[in-house]
Amino acid sequence: FSATTVAQLTKHACLLLRSLAAQAKVSPGVPALARVSSIALESKHNYSPNTRIAVMVRLPTASSIRFSMDSRSATKRDRDKLQICHGTSSLSRVVACFHGQAGAGWGANNVVRGSSFILQFETDGSPGEWGFRMVVEPLDA
């Protein structure tokens, strides 16, 4: 990666981490590790050109993870994509791919089996659209 790419990845990773910290909702009376009831993950609005983000989302106490996409989510169709991959490695299977304008399947509720998934967001060099926002919830067995 070039220095510019690394700087951009660092900036977007910081935005995602801030989003995780600020958006976490907790359930009272549950141990700290298992208290998160939902978190929101989102891109910058509008996102920058040449964005490349890969984030592992791990909810250790979940048997599955539900995620729902905000209806405002939008990217350039077939060029800027948000992918959800099952597992924890770069060779993980793609279970969902979102691109295009809001309302084109972005609002659907989706479930990934297991306690983790990888979120990958890649864009081309042209100016970005609104981006994405998703709410992630752990599901118990």
Cα distance between the two ends of the chain: 40
Structure token digits, residue 133? 């926002």
Helix (H, G, I), strand (E, B) or coil at 30: coil
How far apart CA 40 and CA 67 sit, in angstroms, is 9
For the chain, 141 residues long, give each residue's pLDDT as a single digit of tens.
Answer: 566 655 665 666 666 666 655 555 544 454 554 456 888 999 999 999 999 999 999 888 899 999 888 888 999 988 999 999 987 766 678 888 888 887 666 766 788 999 999 999 999 999 999 999 999 999 985
Its pTM stands at 0.71
How far apart CA 68 and CA 134 sit, in angstroms, is 5
